[in-house]
Structure 1
Amino acid sequence: MASKKYSFLAGAMCLLASYGFAQTTGGTTTGNVGAYDVSDSSVVPSKRMPQHTEFMNGTYNYPAKPRNQWEVGVKGGLFTVSSDVPAQLSWGAGAHIRKALGYVFSLRLNYMYAKGKGLSYVPATTGYKNNIAWTANGYTAPTDQVFYNFKSTVQDLSLEGIFSLNNIRFHKSKSGLNFYALIGAGAMIYDTYVNALNSNGTNYVGLFNGINATGGYKDRGDIKDQLKNGMDDSYETPAENEGNRRAKLWGQTLKPVGHVGVGVAFKLSNRVNLALEDRFTFTKDDLMDGVRWQEHPADDPALTRDYDAYNFASLGLNFNLGSKSVEPLWWINPLDYAYSEIRNPRLMRIPKPVLPDSDGDGVTDQFDQEQTPAGCPVDSHGVSRDTDGDGVPDCRDKEVVTPTYCQPVDADGVGKCPCPEGCGKDTSNACATALGALPSVTFSGSSVALSNDGKSMLASVASRMRNNPECRVVVTGYCASSKAEQQRSWDRVNSIINYMVEKEGISADRFYFNYGQEGGDCNTVDLRAANPDEQGQTSVPAPHPNLRKSK
C-alpha cells in the first residue's frame, strides 16, 4: 500500500513538472507579464514615495520597492511519523499566509493538522515492561509479546523563512516554476493512543503470542495479514506521555519544533499557483509513538533516546491577494529593470557626449586636421578657410578674393594684377554714346505681344539706329528656370527683333539675339548698344518650338 502511495506522489510530481516546463517557450513564460513598470507610482506605498520621486528625477539610482501581494494557501498530503515504531502513511492538511520581504526571502505563518499512525511487524518481549499503555491492559513481560502500534493527532503552528532559489535569472525574464527552501520554528501539540484492546475490551495477547511460530518469526507479509485480520481500529488506550513534566495545551503535550523543507510552485496564472512541498520537523520528543526508546535486551543498561520526528509531503493551491500591487516578489526577476534599461533605455539618464576640441574651432579633435588660431573660420575638416586659395587664411587676408591672375600675393593676401592685353588703349563705346540709354520693353503676364507703348519706344530706338548705321543693339530677355520660361524669353526677344525688322526696316544682322539670362525681370526685355568688340548671334533657334506663342 505504501509503495502505491509513493508511486502516485512521484507520478504527480512528474506531471506537474512537465506542465510547468511546458509553460516556458522561447525564454518567455506563457501568461507571465514580466517585471512591473518601475515608473508606475500606483504600486509604490506612500512611505517609499520620496525614494520613487528621487528615482524619477534622476537623483537616486534605485527604484522603490513596490507593494506586493499576499499569498494564502491550503494544502493536503501524506503525513508520516519517524519514530521507534515503523510508520504507516496517513494524511495531513494545512493552511498558510505568506508575505515577501524581498525578492529572495519571505515569511510564512503555517498551520498543520495531521493524523499519524504506526505499526511494528517485529514483536517486542521486554521493551514494554515500563510502558503503562501495555502493562495496564494485561500484557506481561517477558512472557507475552507486543506489536507496538500508535495513532497520533498532531497540530503545529510555525513561522517559516522561505528562500526562493531561481527567480533571479540572467538569461531569461521568468520561469513558470519557483523552487524554494524553508526553515522555521514553532510549537506543536500532540495526543497519542495505542490499540491494545479489541472492540470487546479484550487484549490481543492471544493474537500476538500466536504470531510467533516455532522455529522463528514468520515473514512480514504473514504477520501483516494476521495483525490486519485480528485487530480493529479502535486506538482506545492513551499512550505513555510525559504527564505533568511537560507543558500542556488543551490536555495535549506541547513541544517546540523546528522545520526544514523544500518545494516547487507551478504558476497557473498571475493569481494562482500550485505547490508541491516536503517539510521535515524535528521535535526533541520521544513519545509521539508511545514508546520511550527502542527495544533493547533487558540486561542492556545502555538504553538511549532517539527523538521522534515527522514529515509532511503536500500538494497545495495558493492564491495571491491584493489590489494596486504587483505579484509576490518571489515571482519577479529583479534584474528585469536593469536588463530592459540596458537594452532599450527609457528612464536612464544618458549624459550628452562631450567631444574634445582643443582649438575651439567647432570641429572635434578626432576630425580636426589643423590647430587653428583663435577667431579664424574653418571648413568641415577644421582647416582655416581660404576663399581665394592664395595661401593666406581669410582671417588675415586683406583681399579675401584675389583673382588668380593677380597671384602670388603678399603677406596680407593682396595681389598685384598685371595690365591686360590692350592696356592703355581707348575702350570707350562710341555707339553707347551715340545711341544713348536705350529703353526696356515690358510685357504683361505671359503675353509675347508688344503693347502700344512698347511699339512707340521701339520706333524711337529705330530712329537712333538709322542715324548710326554702324552701331549694333543687344536685345536681352531673362529667366530660364523652366522650359516655359526659356521659350517665353525667346519669344519676347524674337517679337522685338521681328518688329524692328518688319515694321521699322532695320536689318536683322544689327541685332544680337540674347535670351534666358539671369539677373533681370522675367517680364522685361532690355536693349543696349553693343560694345565695339562684342560678338553675338543674330539668329537663334527656338529652344522649345512646341511651346511657342504668337501673342
Structure 2
Amino acid sequence: MTRKSYLLFGIFMCFVLGNTYAQSEGLKITAKPKNMWELGIHVGHSILTGDVDWDSDFGVGLHLRKALDYTFSVRFDGTYNRLSGTEEENRREVDANRYGFGTNWMPEYESTYINGDISVVASLNQMKIFKKNKINPYGFVGLGIGSANVEVTDGNNTFDVDDDILYDDEWNINPHAVGGMGIGFLVGKKISISVEHKLTKFLGRGADLMDGVEFQGRLSDRVITKDDDLMNYTNVRVGIGLGKLDEDQSLPLWWVSPLDMIAEDLAEVKARPIFDDSDSDGDGVLDMVDQEPDTPEGYPVDTRGNSLDSDGDGLVDGMDEEPYSPPGYEVDSKGIAQVPQPNILNENDVNKIIDGRLANWTPSTDLSNDWF
C-alpha cells in the first residue's frame, strides 16, 4: 500500500470515528447514568465477643454511600459503639495483678469505640432482570480506624487500660477491619430501610484488649488467650437519596437495573396501538387519529377530521349556504349573513322621483329650458 493510500485510509478512519462520536454525543449514551449519593443514619445493638461474657449495649452513627457501578458501591461509615461485659466464672490473675486488683478479680469492663471506616459494598440484586429492584441483599468488607476507651473495674477501683497499657498517643487510635451482610428495602421514592449485621475485627495492640482481658491461667503461667475481641453490631439503617429524582439523575444504582432502559423501551413499543389505515367516513383522515369519525359525506374537514366552519358562524361548511359570511353579522339558519341594506337610491326610488316630476310638468314650446 502506497503512502497516499495510507493517508486516505487514515482520513477515512478519522471521519468514521468522528461521526460515531458525534452520534453518541447526540444520543447522550452513557454506560452509567448520573445517580444520587445516599445519606443514612443507623442505630443498633452492640456486643463484644472475646474473653469476658458480654452485656447488651448500643451503637449509633451515620453513613454516606455512592455507587461505583450497578453492583459495587463505596460507603463511608462513622459509628459510636458502647461495649460492656461481666465475667461470672473465670478469675484472671495475670490481668488483675497488672491492674492492681486482687488475684480473685472477676473481670468487668466498659468500653467505647468511636470509629470510622470505608467499605466496598457488593449488591446481590442485579440477577433479577426486567423487575424493579426494591429488595437489595448486600455484603461488604472494609478497613478503618477508631479511638478506644477501655476501663476495667473491681468494686470501687477502676483502671484505664487504654491510657496505661494499650496506646502511647492521647487519641488512642486503633486500626480495624470490617465485614458483614445486610438486606435493604426501597420503601419510598428516595427512602430505604436496611437491616445489617456488621463485624469489626480489631487489629494491632487492641486486638485482644477491648474487654480488658489478655491473659488466662495462673499468675505464673502468663498465657495469652486465644480469643481475639470481635465487635458485633446489628443495626437498622434509614437512607435517603440526595438530590432531585428526574430524567437527569436516577436513584443510587444498587436500586437500578442496567436493563431498565431496555425494558421500558420494549414496554412502550408493546403499548403502541396497531396501525390501522381505515377511514370509515371517507374524509381523508384515518380513524385512529380522527376526532370526528362519523363526518357526513362531502363535508370538508381539518387535519384532525373535524368538520370545518370557515367563517366561524357556528354552522359547519357542509351545511352553510354562505361558508364565508362577512364577519360581525348575525346569520340565519342557513348560514347567510343578515347584512342591513345601505341608505342609497335604488331603482324604485328613481322611478318615484321621475313620476313626481312628470305629474307637475306642463309642456312648453321653449325647448331651451330643461324640463327636468
After TM superposition, the score normalised by the length of structure 1 is 0.41
Selected match of 2:106 from 147, 150, 166: 147
Q: From the superposition, tell whether residues 178 and 56 of structure 1 become closer, same or farther in structure 2 (CA, over 3 Å).
A: same
Identity of aligned residues (%): 26
Contact (CA 8 Å) 1:52, 1:63: kept in 2 or not?
A: no
Using the alignment, how far apart are the partners of 1:332 and 1:125 within structure 2? 54
Report the Cα offset of residue 175 of structure 1: 3.4
Matching residue of 2:255: 331
Spell out, residue by residue over 1:157-187, the C-alpha distance to the aligned partner (whole angstroms, 9 max, x if none).
11111111113413x4113211111111110
Residue 174 in structure 1 maps to residue 132 in structure 2: yes
Matching residue of 2:349: none
**Paired residue type of 2:211:** D
Selected match of 1:165 from 124, 131, 140: 124
Report the Cα offset of residue 301 of structure 1: 5.8
**Paired residue type of 2:124:** L
Report the Cα offset of residue 339 of structure 1: 4.1
Using the alignment, how far apart are the partners of 1:79 and 1:245 within structure 2? 22
Selected match of 1:82 from 49, 59, 78: 49
Using the alignment, how far apart are the partners of 1:245 and 1:79 within structure 2? 22
Matching residue of 1:16: none
- Runs (5+) with no aligned partner, structure 2: 1-18, 271-372
Selected match of 1:317 from 227, 238, 243: 238
Matching residue of 1:246: 167
Spell out, residue by residue over 1:375-409, the C-alpha distance to the aligned partner (whole angstroms, 9 max, x if none).
xxxxxxxxxxxxxxxxxxxxxxxxxxxxxxxxxxx
Matching residue of 1:511: none
Contact (CA 8 Å) 2:77, 2:116: kept in 1 or not?
A: yes
Contact (CA 8 Å) 1:79, 1:310: kept in 2 or not?
A: yes
Contact (CA 8 Å) 1:167, 1:174: kept in 2 or not?
A: no
**Paired residue type of 1:246:** Y
Selected match of 2:149 from 191, 207, 210: 191
Report the Cα offset of residue 51 of structure 1: 9.3
Q: From the superposition, tell whether residues 123 and 280 of structure 1 become closer, same or farther in structure 2 (CA, over 3 Å).
A: same
5 Å-filtered alignment, 1:121-520, equals 121-124=88-91, 126-132=93-99, 135=100, 139-141=101-103, 145-170=104-129, 172-198=130-156, 237-241=158-162, 243=164, 246-248=167-169, 251-284=170-203, 285-293=207-215, 295-300=216-221, 302-304=223-225, 306-323=227-244, 324-341=248-265
Q: From the superposition, tell whether residues 280 and 320 of structure 1 become closer, same or farther in structure 2 (CA, over 3 Å).
A: same
Using the alignment, how far apart are the partners of 1:94 and 1:327 within structure 2? 23
**Paired residue type of 1:330:** W
Contact (CA 8 Å) 1:153, 1:190: kept in 2 or not?
A: yes
Using the alignment, how far apart are the partners of 1:298 and 1:150 within structure 2? 20
**Paired residue type of 1:240:** V
Matching residue of 1:96: 63
Q: From the superposition, tell whether residues 288 and 99 of structure 1 become closer, same or farther in structure 2 (CA, over 3 Å).
A: same
Structure with bigger strand share is: 2
Using the alignment, how far apart are the partners of 2:114 and 2:160 within structure 1? 17
Q: From the superposition, tell whether residues 268 and 51 of structure 1 become closer, same or farther in structure 2 (CA, over 3 Å).
A: farther
Q: Secondary structure at the match of 2:58?
A: strand
5 Å-filtered alignment, 1:55-66, equals 55=24, 63-66=30-33
Contact (CA 8 Å) 2:36, 2:241: kept in 1 or not?
A: yes
Report the Cα offset of residue 265 of structure 1: 1.1
Report the Cα offset of residue 65 of structure 1: 2.2
**Paired residue type of 1:331:** W
Contact (CA 8 Å) 1:168, 1:335: kept in 2 or not?
A: no
Report the Cα offset of residue 340 of structure 1: 4.6
Using the alignment, how far apart are the partners of 2:64 and 2:21 within structure 1? 28
Report the Cα offset of residue 197 of structure 1: 2.9
Contact (CA 8 Å) 1:127, 1:296: kept in 2 or not?
A: yes
Report the Cα offset of residue 244 of structure 1: 7.3
Report the Cα offset of residue 298 of structure 1: 4.1
Report the Cα offset of residue 239 of structure 1: 3.5
RMSD after superposition: 2.8
Contact (CA 8 Å) 1:131, 1:291: kept in 2 or not?
A: no
Contact (CA 8 Å) 2:166, 2:209: kept in 1 or not?
A: no
Matching residue of 2:293: none
- Runs (5+) with no aligned partner, structure 1: 1-49, 204-236, 347-551
Report the Cα offset of residue 326 of structure 1: 0.9
Q: From the superposition, tell whether residues 84 and 68 of structure 1 become closer, same or farther in structure 2 (CA, over 3 Å).
A: same
Contact (CA 8 Å) 2:118, 2:144: kept in 1 or not?
A: yes
Contact (CA 8 Å) 2:38, 2:64: kept in 1 or not?
A: yes
- Which has the larger displacement, 175-184 or 239-248? 239-248
Report the Cα offset of residue 246 of structure 1: 3.4
